Amino acid sequence: MYITSTTGKHFDPINPDKNLIDIVDIAHSLSLICRANGHFKSFYSVASHSIACSIEAGKRGFDKKIQLACLLHDASEAYLSDVTRPIKAMLTKYLEVEDKLQNTIWEKYLGFIPDEEDRRKIFGVDDDMLSLEFLNLMPEKLGDRYKNIISEVNFEFVQMELTEKRFIDRFYELTL
């Protein structure tokens, strides 16, 4: 079984081959997936969220590997789609598949799988950004984690093609 990616690769998300993982496929797909399962008041893509997380990690002084990990922290969604947090917590097999795929992506692009300390940084930024997104795009206050954000985040609609390009540009900025 496989999915056909935007670059034409036949990719098996259950048994991921890191040679078939492509940053172009990731950027394209994430630029078309809306955060909050499409329930925000306006479109805000997973790619925009990932870019914002990566920039925030840089503002916090995290090294380029953590910034890249933040950019790629939702990359498995390019091949699996997203499942909302309340449902995802109940889907143990999905979580296993997602974890395996995400680790394969991190291994390919970071050269390692983030340890617990790295994950605390990565998902701390992610949770802080989620709080800010809900405050600006719902609006709904999910605690005070948004107060930890030190970067400027633009929540205006950006064309998918431009978001895709920004994602790829950020990737190369961190990897070259």
Domain span including residue 127? 3-175
Rounded CA separation 118/173 (Å): 20
Task: Read off the CATH number of the domain in which 73 is found.
Answer: 1.10.3210.10
Q: Residues near 129 by Cβ (< 8 Å), separated by ≥ 6?
A: 49, 52, 53, 56, 149, 153
Is this prediction's pTM over 0.85? yes
Q: In angstroms, how far is CA 143 from the centroid of its own chain? A: 21
Average pLDDT over residues 64-70: 98
Domain count, the chain: 1
**How confident is the model over 67-89, as a mean pLDDT?**
94
Confidence of residue 32 (pLDDT cuts 50, 70, 90): very high
pLDDT at res. 99:
97
Q: Which range among 80-89, 94-103, 152-161 shows the weakest confidence by mean pLDDT?
A: 80-89
List C-alpha distances in Å: 134 to 42, 72, 144, 145. Answer: 11, 21, 11, 11
CB within 8 A of 3, min separation 6: which ones? 10, 11, 12, 13, 79
What is the C-alpha R_g of the chain? 15
Find tokens 């790629």 and name the residue.
72
Q: Output DSSP code: residue 63.
A: -
The pLDDT score that the predictor gives to residue 27 is: 98
Neighbours of 30 (CB within 10 A): 26
Give residue 129's pLDDT: 98
Q: Element (H or E) spanning 3, and its range?
A: strand 3-4
Task: Convert the pLDDT of each residue in 100-153 to its tens digit.
Answer: 999 999 999 999 999 999 999 999 999 999 999 999 999 899 999 999 999 999
29, 112 in Cβ contact below 8 A?
A: no
Res. 2: pLDDT tops 90: yes
| Count of CB atoms situated within 10 Å of the CB of 127 | 16
Rounded average pLDDT over 155-175? 97
For the chain, the average pLDDT equals 96
